[in-house]
Amino acid sequence: MWRMSTSAGARHTGSRLEISNLSKKFGGFTAVDDLTFTVEPGRVTGFLGPNGAGKTTTLRMLLGLVNPTSGSATIGGRRYRDLDNPLGTVGAALEATNFHPGRSGRNHLRVMAAAAGLPNSRVDELLDLVGIPAAAKKRAGGYSMGMRQRLGLAAALLGDPEVLILDEPANGLDPEGIRWLRGFLTHLAGEGRTVLVSSHMLTEVQQTADEVVIIANGRMVRSGTVAELQGTPRAFVRTSDPDTLVGALRVADVTAETTEGGLLVETDDLRVVGDVALRAGLPIWELTRKAADLEQLFFDLTDGTNRNYTGAPAGDPGGPAPAERDAITGQEGANL
Amino acid sequence: MINAVKSELRKFFTTRLWWGMAIGIFVAAALFAALFALSYTSEGMGGAGGPGGMEGGEVQIANSVYTSGLGIGYLLLLTIGVMQIGSEYRHKTITGTFLSTPRRVQAIGAKIIALLVLGAVYGLISLVGSVAVGAPILAMNDFSPFPDIEVLRSLALALLALGLWALIGFGVGVLIPNQVAALLVGIGFAWIVEPLLGFGLSFWEFGREHLVKYFPSQATNAMVDTVTMAGPNAPENLSWWAAALVLLAWAAVLAGLGALRATRQDVA
């Protein structure tokens, strides 16, 4: 369905998003703290952080909904409020709950279309595109979470924008919907648009995002490509005499360390490990490439600093339940 | 700006509120017009200074009949004004509004224009109801249904009055972001507190002469130049144009404070 082009297949010149030294204080609470990063066109950028890290506040400042305490956030060099054609420049889906329950989804889009000077026919095009043309004629109060997400996405795409900003778009989508969304986002970025997707789970966006920006407590923790984040994969090998293999590898200029049940070797070339073991006359029981555990990495990067949880018992393995709605966790294989 | 106003009007006409309000305002106007027309034309109410403690000529009687539904009408427009912003806060659709029209002055200006338009639309619905019912009753009882061009002035001012009440509602709706609280405070004040306060103050000479006439409901009635209470404690009324200015001032202050706040606030 998403192959239906949103804009007759035109190539887009997406705009660069620039967040520089952005801060927001709510009273004595610093929600966003001197944040600086850029988002490039033609790629999907994941904007990550635990619940309460300041993602939504940052996006709202970028969209002119929240006034920054200091710093700036611009789209193609201009503030959102200064854009001549806001819906034609930026499409945003912030929360899947922002609909009047008594208004149909179609009329919701028509209200927006009127403000942007777009014809009603554009509304029906979008409803076809996101796959809810019939259901959208009913009042929004009865919509499922998945329908709300699709309606939100239709609203974001209404003006055929250069930039897409989506806040937790996978929440409430079933695995099929998430797969659809993943393809859709990649397709949109492929058209040259700028796509920024927030999420509170790194693993959720790792298949889609080209770049990631990770924040915690309103501060930048790490940014780069997913591959950079994972680092060079290492080889894991199990053999009969690990210490002998470490020595043999050292001779071959490869460092290795023993770990539970085997060795972790600092190379992603499995052949090197196999050849060395053969020369040393050691049997190989297992030899695999081992990437960094992104979930663990994300947890390490953002852990122990979550302001929302202060006061909770330390070391609680499950951790307190996140305050935000959180439909995606626990859905194995439902990654974005 | 035209697009933003169109969007606001579409927002209003795409929920069920609008026709419920339309029916309410039409029925109220027709019923009150019938009631007033019958009571004024009944015995003993022949013209100015008649018994029953009322004063007013044929013009005032016609005005009273045609605008008798105004008391319900402005409460409904107050409600519409509160809800045009209050439901946006409640359902968080204000985010979409400011995303579509990010220049806040423009977005709020569009709301204000749309509410004035709605005031006029509902005013017309109300007048259709009251004139259709009131004029035949007046005519049947040998009262002139349109004694003077002044009646038309009152009808036109009734449309303005409803628009201004919608703006008062808008101001209340922004200043009290909880929609239910805003409705209770707005309607409670206009419907209960103000009449009681006016009644209380009418026993105090200064209050009677200098305060009560500036109350929004009192000014609304003076604007359309209706039959008034007679008697020693009756509050003085402003002339129609002064009353219009007073109501305009109420609307300007409340909607102005609301606009000031709405253009600056964070939408989180």
Predicted confidence (pLDDT) per residue in B27-52, tens digit: 999 999 999 888 888 755 444 444 44
Q: Is the pLDDT of residue A322 over 60?
A: no
Least confident of A180-189, A225-234, A254-263, A305-314: A305-314
- Residue of A97 and B193 predicted with greater confidence: B193
pLDDT value at position A14? 73
Contact list in A for residue B91 (CB cut-off 8 A) is 98-101
List A139's β-bridge partners, or say none.
Answer: A104
Q: Is the pLDDT of residue A219 over 80?
A: yes
Query: Span A112-138, mean pLDDT?
Result: 92
A143 and chain B in contact, CB less than 8 A: no
Q: Is the pLDDT of residue A255 over 60?
A: yes
Query: Span A212-225, mean pLDDT?
Result: 90
A259: nearest Cα among A243, A281, A279: A243
Q: Is the pLDDT of residue A329 over 70?
A: no
Window 57-116 of B: residues touching A by CB (8 A cutoff) are 87, 91-93, 95-104
pLDDT value at position A73? 96
pLDDT value at position A336? 52
Every domain of chain A with CATH number 3.30.70.100 lies at 233-290
Percent of chain B scoring above 70 in pLDDT? 92
Query: Span A286-305, mean pLDDT?
Result: 76
- Where helices occur in chain A by DSSP H, the ranges are 55-62, 86-89, 105-116, 120-129, 145-157, 175-190, 202-205, 226-230, 242-251, 270-279, 294-302
The CATH classification number of A17-229 equals 3.40.50.300
A68 and chain B in contact, CB less than 8 A: no
Least confident of A175-184, A315-324, B105-114, B230-239: A315-324
- Residue of B189 and A5 predicted with greater confidence: B189
pLDDT value at position B170? 96
Angle between helix B150-175 and B58-66 (nearest 10): 40
pLDDT averaged over every residue in chain B:
88
In the Cβ-directed half-sphere of B173, how many Cα atoms lie within 13 Å? 29
pLDDT value at position A10? 56
CA nearest to A92 within chain B: B99
DSSP B177-218: -SHHHHHHHHHIIIIIIHHHHHHHHTTSHHIIIIIGGGSHHH
pLDDT value at position A308? 52
- Residue of A281 and B199 predicted with greater confidence: A281
A101 and chain B in contact, CB less than 8 A: yes
The reply to whether residue B100 touches residue A87, judged by beta carbons under 8 angstroms, is yes
Query: Span B222-250, mean pLDDT?
Result: 80
pLDDT value at position B229? 64
pLDDT value at position B99? 94
Q: Give the β-pairing of A163-167 and A90-93.
A: parallel
Contact A102, B16 (CB under 8 A): yes
d(CA B60, CA B132): 18
Least confident of A257-266, A303-312, B199-208, B237-246: A303-312
pLDDT value at position A132? 87
Indicate the pLDDT class of residue A330, thresholds 50, 70 and 90: very low
Give the tokens for residue B95: 């985010």
Query: Span B111-125, mean pLDDT?
Result: 95
Indicate the pLDDT class of residue A230, thresholds 50, 70 and 90: confident
Q: Is the pLDDT of residue A323 over 50?
A: no
CA nearest to B17 within chain A: A102
Contact list in B for residue A115 (CB cut-off 8 A) is 3-4, 6-7, 97, 100-101
Amino acid making up residue A194: T
A27 and chain B in contact, CB less than 8 A: no
Window 124-153 of B: residues touching A by CB (8 A cutoff) are none
Contact list in B for residue A102 (CB cut-off 8 A) is 15-17
pLDDT value at position B20? 92
Percent of chain A scoring above 70 in pLDDT? 86
CA nearest to A63 within chain B: B99
A24-71 confidence digits (pLDDT tens): 999 889 999 999 999 999 999 999 988 889 999 999 999 999 999 999
Contact A218, A250 (CB under 8 A): no
pLDDT value at position B8? 95
d(CA B172, CA B77): 12
The reply to whether residue B264 touches residue A80, judged by beta carbons under 8 angstroms, is no
- Of A13-17, A295-299, B240-244, highest mean pLDDT: B240-244
The reply to whether residue A102 touches residue B96, judged by beta carbons under 8 angstroms, is no
pLDDT averaged over every residue in chain A:
83
Q: Is the pLDDT of residue B174 over 90?
A: yes
B46-103 confidence digits (pLDDT tens): 444 444 456 677 888 888 889 888 888 999 999 999 999 999 999 999 999 999 999 9
B138-157 confidence digits (pLDDT tens): 888 888 888 888 888 889 99
- Phi then psi dihedrals of residue B173, to 5 deg: -65, -35
Task: Give B14 to chain A, closest Cα distance, Å.
Answer: 6
Contact B12, B112 (CB under 8 A): no
Looking at the domain A233-290, which fold is it?
A: Alpha-Beta Plaits (3.30.70)
B16 and chain A in contact, CB less than 8 A: yes
d(CA B137, CA B60): 15
